[in-house]
């Protein structure tokens, strides 16, 4: 299944160009300076058919689990529910279960990611916009081309094929 939005041509890094890559880096530096430690949440969202929901952002290459940063004054659960809604029009039909905590050294020396597993339903299709290029549900054995290595590893961990790593 290919979600709406079309993949286009060329690699994600070619489509992003240096201005967007530079902006992403500047934002990470800003977050590192404005926060003592950065904390993010990701959701492994499964529909009733057992498919996983993935998103392809406009500003970083590859397909990812939905998620984002936890802001000051926001709980991890609030951030998770907000990101699921914003990135996929998803609502939880089970209590999100914390699966594992990861250190994300690729972002900074202070970034951690909380990965939750949750059963969801989509309240409306997620159209493409400035943040999300494409989004959709995929069978675990048919992930889209360009799914990041970190996303593939998290899915293997969730399936019990490998023990959870401590690094994202």
Domain assignments of the chain as residue spans, ordered by start: 37-157
Environment class of 19 (CB within 10 Å of its CB; exposed 0-12, middle 13-18, buried 19+): exposed
Q: What percent helix, strand, coil does the chain show, rounded to 5?
A: 25, 30, 40
Model-level pTM? Answer: 0.79
Fold observed for domain 37-157: Nucleoside Triphosphate Pyrophosphohydrolase (3.90.79)
Please compute the mean of the pLDDT values over residues 120-140 and round it to a whole number.
97
At 16 the pLDDT is 63
User: How many Å apart are CA 54 and CA 143, to the nearest integer?
Assistant: 9
At 7 the pLDDT is 41
Report residue 5's pLDDT band, with 50, 70 and 90 as the boundaries. Answer: very low
Ramachandran angles phi, psi of 132, nearest 5°: -110, 120
> Mean pLDDT score of the chain, rounded to an integer?
89
Ramachandran angles phi, psi of 36, nearest 5°: -65, -45
User: How many Å apart are CA 104 and CA 110, to the nearest integer?
Assistant: 8
């Amino acid at each position: 299944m290919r979600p709406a939005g079309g993949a286009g041509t060329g690699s994600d890094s070619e489509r992003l160009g240096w201005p967007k890559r530079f902006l992403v880096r500047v934002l990470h530096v800003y977050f590192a300076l404005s926060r003592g430690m950065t904390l993010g949440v990701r959701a492994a969202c499964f529909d009733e058919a057992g498919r996983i929901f993935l998103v392809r952002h406009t500003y970083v290459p590859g397909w990812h689990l939905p998620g984002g940063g936890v802001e000051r004054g926001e709980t991890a659960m609030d951030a998770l529910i907000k990101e699921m809604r914003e990135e996929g029009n998803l609502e939880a039909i089970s209590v999100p279960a914390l699966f594992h905590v990861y250190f994300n050294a690729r972002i900074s020396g202070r970034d951690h990611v909380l990965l939750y597993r949750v059963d969801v339903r989509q309240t409306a299709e997620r159209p493409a916009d400035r943040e999300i290029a494409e989004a959709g549900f995929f069978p675990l054995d048919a992930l889209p081309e360009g799914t990041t290595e970190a996303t593939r590893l998290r899915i293997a961990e969730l399936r019990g094929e490998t023990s959870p790593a401590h690094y994202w």
